[in-house]
Amino acid sequence: ADVAAGEQVFNANCAACHAGGQNVIMPEKTLEKEALEQYLAGGRNEKAVINQVTNGKNAMPAFGGRLGDDEIANVAAYVISSSEAGWE
């Protein structure tokens, strides 16, 4: 997966709710390392992010019909990479 391409997908589709790895709707469910480990179904890994982005969850919309599989894989790689880096 292409992390740099994933950053572009993130800025265009996710940052409205998740700027800086935060969550404006459910503040505890951030994209930080510890929150992903605690809350993300399937654990903190790219496949789990792909599943949630594809299918959505509660107030988070599903992107399966709006983004391609490659775009979803790239944004998942960006989320995991950024969680490791602490979202700078």
By the 8 A CB rule, do 78 and 70 touch?
no
Residue closest to ligand HEM when measured from CB atoms: 14
Q: Is 80 in the site for ligand HEM (CB under 6 A)?
A: no
Site string (1-30) toward ligand HEM, x via CB under 6 A: ------------xx-xxx----x-xx--xx
- Angle of helix 3-13 relative to helix 69-85, nearest 10 degrees? 100
Q: 6-16 burial string, b = 16+ CB within 10 Å, else e? A: bbebbeebbee
Q: List the structure tokens of 11.
A: 């800025």
Cα radius of gyration (the chain): 11
CB of 13 to ligand HEM, least distance (A): 4
Site string (27-66) toward ligand HEM, x via CB under 6 A: --xxx---xx--xx--------x--xx---xxxxx-x---
Binding site for ligand HEM (CB under 6 A): 13-14, 16-18, 23, 25-26, 29-31, 35-36, 39-40, 49, 52-53, 57-61, 63, 75, 79
